[in-house]
Structure 1
Amino acid sequence: MKTKGKMNYITTLIIATCLLLLVFAGSILLGEAKVNLTTIFEAIFHYNPHNEQHNIIAEIRIPRDIGAILVGIALATAGAVIQGVTKNGLADPSLIGLNSGAAFMLALTYAVRPSAPFIVLMFAGFVGALLGGFIVLMIGRSRSDGFNPMRIILAGAAVSALLTALSQGIALVFKLNQSITFWSAGGVSGTTWNQILWAAPFVLISLAVILGMSKQLTILNLGESLARGLGQNVAAIRGVTLVMSMILAGIAVAMVGQVAFVGLLVPHIVRYLVGTDYARVIPVSAIAGGLLVLLADTLARMLGEAPMGAIISFIGVPYFLFLVKRGGRFS
């Protein structure tokens, strides 16, 4: 059974990676401006800043697609960790206050400093995610039974509504309606190389830390009592992995705004395919998350720059209701 599980994991990882690379190549090809593979090759290896097609590929499409992949990695990984730490199959960065907290701090940052550099926005997103997540998890935690799934979801809905209302209030007072509309809809159309150069190291380092703690996450997911019995420092595992998840959520919101349900959808499907070992769940979730967001953005572009967040929510809302009916379990 272990050999079969390992083969399923390797097969799934290879298929997901190949699909991601295929969609990435196809996404660069698609768009109003028609380009071919030769032009893409030339734009990458023999870039000519005076060639309009080279500029479209190198300065717009490639950073946009890489940004979509990074956001997908961040949200899916954060969702997998949060679901494991809280033992709540309904948990998602957008549903426990991380996204709305990050958006609130971004609105506040824009109000104080409209021309803030991306590194400041990233830090603001992390602080906001930390604020929103901390409030929700403290409300949702009980001394007797740990994290209560229903309490977390209800607290998340209430805190998210409050932080969203505060964000909109800041937008009205400081006339930030256009910026807030972008963050609410979600999209990677404005992603730049500067944003990627700042975001990528933080996403990859956070992912590496979480991967390094995957064994502890797997044990913790089996129950706090068992984890303590096996000598695990439950508080440290929970604290470090949740902070990494908040960093990932904050970066994602700083890049594309509030995109919901990626962290809910992907981990459930991945656990169904490869099991509950987080050494397998995290890598496949990261790749599958990047694939989902890239597919959604490509579809949004083909539909005339439709809101990417709305496309993912179109799938995510019915799935969430399905999970609620099943008590947070996929199968």
Structure 2
Amino acid sequence: MIILISPILIIITTILSVIYGTKGISLATIWEAFTAYDEGNTDHAIIITSRLPRVLTAMLVGAFLAVSGAIMQGMTRNYLASPSIMGVTDGSAFVITICMIVLPNMTSIEMILFSMVGSALGAGIVYGFGSLIPKGLTPVRLAIIGTVIGTFLSSTSAALASYFQISQDVSFWYNAKLHQVDVDTFLLAIPFGVIGLIIALITSGHITILSLGEEIAVTLGQKTKWVKALALLAVICLTGTAVALVGKVGFVGLIIPHIARFLVGVDYRWLIPSSAIIGAIFLAVCDIISRFVNHPFETPIGVVTALIGVPFFLYLIYKRGGEKHA
């Protein structure tokens, strides 16, 4: 049902996103912008060059982060796993900050690639520390380690940006303002994100088995190392692309997989596409809400996702404690 009704929900969300903003736009004007575009018409230009790319970016980023979170939760059997909590997004932002210092004229494609390197770096540091600490891979302890490492990387990035006087240049990634999205970067990011989604779908059945426990997966003849490697590659592609597009957006990868799991069950062949759909709509709706929090000024979308995500995060800890999910 989610997949069947998703086109209708996506169309409705897109229309609402284009209509509402600092300046309201009528449905008739939207129709004219697509059927009889006039370059001299300000409303037409706002629709085609700003609001439409904005909602499409929000949906892509929401889908990418939600799928990343679903993969991480299934791969690690950790219900608290997500790119924002496990240091993946902070790693991307950290590497991008360094690149903006060393390579101030880097291209959009270089930004995406370096963002992926940062995703791998952040995840590697967090899981590396977790494996060194006794019981460090339990859900709550790994979340604490991820939060500490993420805070360290974020603080270091801010310090470097301030010291080298590029704070304004990197503020985009820290504030996650979708209205500043670069169209060229958006178009270049699509292939990388699609590759990540394809890998996620290909490995979805294997992740379902892996989520039952590594011993069971090995007993069933699964090559767990290859599955984990491919799953991690998907997470790196999806999260790195998302951060390169809009910066750090928290809690999408934590919330959405749980909602999808409640609706469709634990079979990742259905969970991953459902997470992508729900994540896309969720972040687009959060973007619409962010326009009215401090109207007519823009509020970073990360503020809205945090207002929803933090209580959800605390609820999970309260209900589940240190247990791993099946």
Q: TM-score, normalised by structure 2?
A: 0.93
Query: For 1:104-143, what aligned pairs fall within 5 Å after superposition?
Result: 104-141=94-131
Gap regions ≥5 residues in structure 1? 1-10
Instruction: Kindly indicate whether residue 247 of structure 2 is the aligned counterpart of residue 257 of structure 1.
Output: yes
CA contact (8 A) 1:92 1:263 kept: yes
1:161-197 superposed Cα distances (whole Å, 9 cap, x missing partner): 2211210121111112223333222221112321221
- Amino acid in structure 2 at the alignment position of 1:31: G
Residue in 1 aligned with 2:12?
A: 22
Residue in 2 aligned with 1:315?
A: 308
Query: For 1:1-331, what aligned pairs fall within 5 Å after superposition?
Result: 11-141=1-131, 147-303=137-293, 304-327=297-320
User: CA offset at residue 50 of structure 1?
Assistant: 2.3
CA contact (8 A) 2:64 2:193 kept: yes
Change (3 A) 1:150 1:31: closer
- Amino acid in structure 2 at the alignment position of 1:212: I
Structure 2: distance between partners of 1:257 and 1:40: 29
Gap regions ≥5 residues in structure 2? none
Change (3 A) 1:133 1:281: same
- Amino acid in structure 2 at the alignment position of 1:217: I
Structure 1 stretch displaced more, 12-21 or 227-236: 12-21
Aligned residues with identical type, % of pairs: 36
User: CA offset at residue 146 of structure 1?
Assistant: 9.5
1:127-147 superposed Cα distances (whole Å, 9 cap, x missing partner): 111001011112223799894
User: CA offset at residue 20 of structure 1?
Assistant: 2.4
Residue in 2 aligned with 1:3?
A: none
Number of paired residues? 321
Structure 2: distance between partners of 1:233 and 1:145: 24
Structure 1 stretch displaced more, 29-38 or 82-91: 29-38
Structure 1 stretch displaced more, 191-200 or 220-229: 191-200
Structure 2: distance between partners of 1:142 and 1:216: 27
CA contact (8 A) 1:215 1:279 kept: yes
Structure 1 stretch displaced more, 100-109 or 177-186: 177-186
User: CA offset at residue 17 of structure 1?
Assistant: 4.1
- Amino acid in structure 2 at the alignment position of 1:311: V
Residue 97 of structure 2 aligns to a residue whose secondary structure is helix
1:108-150 superposed Cα distances (whole Å, 9 cap, x missing partner): 1111233322211111110111001011112223799894323
User: CA offset at residue 218 of structure 1?
Assistant: 0.3
User: CA offset at residue 86 of structure 1?
Assistant: 0.6
CA contact (8 A) 1:60 1:192 kept: no
Residue 180 of structure 2 aligns to a residue whose secondary structure is coil
Change (3 A) 1:296 1:275: same
Residue 70 of structure 1 aligns to a residue whose secondary structure is helix
CA contact (8 A) 1:139 1:151 kept: no
Change (3 A) 1:54 1:226: same
CA contact (8 A) 2:30 2:44 kept: yes
User: CA offset at residue 44 of structure 1?
Assistant: 2.4
Residue 129 of structure 2 aligns to a residue whose secondary structure is helix
Structure 2: distance between partners of 1:68 and 1:115: 26
